[in-house]
Structure 1
Amino acid sequence: MTTQQVADRFYELSQQNGFEHIQTELYSKDAKSIEPAGGIFTNAEGLDAIMEKGKQFHDMIEEMHDGYCSKPLVAGNFFTCTMGMDVTLKGQPRMKMDEVAVYEVKDGKIVLEQFFF
Structure 2
Amino acid sequence: MSTQEIADRLVALCRIGQYDEAYKELFADDAVSIEPEFTQQPPVKGLDNLLAKSAQFATMFKELHDSSVSAPIVAGNCFACTMMIDTTNHEDVRSKMEEICLYHVKDGKIISEQFFF
Same fold at TM > 0.5: yes
Aligned AA for 2:37? A
Q: CA deviation at 1:101?
A: 0.2
Query: Distance in 1 between the 2:78 and 2:95 partners?
Result: 29
Query: Distance in 2 between the 1:22 and 1:33 partners?
Result: 14
Q: CA deviation at 1:53?
A: 0.7
Superposed, 1:93-104 pairs within 5 Å as 93-104=93-104
Structure 2 residues without counterparts, runs of 5 or longer: none
Deviating 4+ runs (over 4 angstroms):
none
Report percent identity of matched pairs.
45
- Please give the per-residue CA displacement for 1:71-116, whole angstroms capped at 9, x wherever unaligned: 1000000000000110012225100000000000001100000000
Structure 1 residues without counterparts, runs of 5 or longer: none
Give the 3 Å change call, closer, same or farther, for CA 40–89 of structure 1 in structure 2: farther
- Counterpart position of 1:79: 79
Work out whether residues 84 and 99 of structure 1, in 8 Å CA contact, stay in contact via their aligned partners in 2.
Answer: yes
Q: CA deviation at 1:62?
A: 0.6
- Counterpart position of 2:35: 35
Query: Distance in 2 between the 1:40 and 1:85 partners?
Result: 21
Work out whether residues 14 and 69 of structure 1, in 8 Å CA contact, stay in contact via their aligned partners in 2.
Answer: yes
Aligned positions, number: 117
Q: CA deviation at 1:18?
A: 1.0
Q: TM-score, normalised by structure 2?
A: 0.95
Question: How big is the alpha-carbon RMSD for the aligned residues of Structure 1 and Structure 2?
Answer: 1.2
1:110 counterpart = 2:105: no
Q: CA deviation at 1:60?
A: 1.1
Query: Distance in 2 between the 1:40 and 1:95 partners?
Result: 21
Q: TM-score, normalised by structure 1?
A: 0.95
- Counterpart position of 1:47: 47
Query: Distance in 2 between the 1:41 and 1:57 partners?
Result: 13
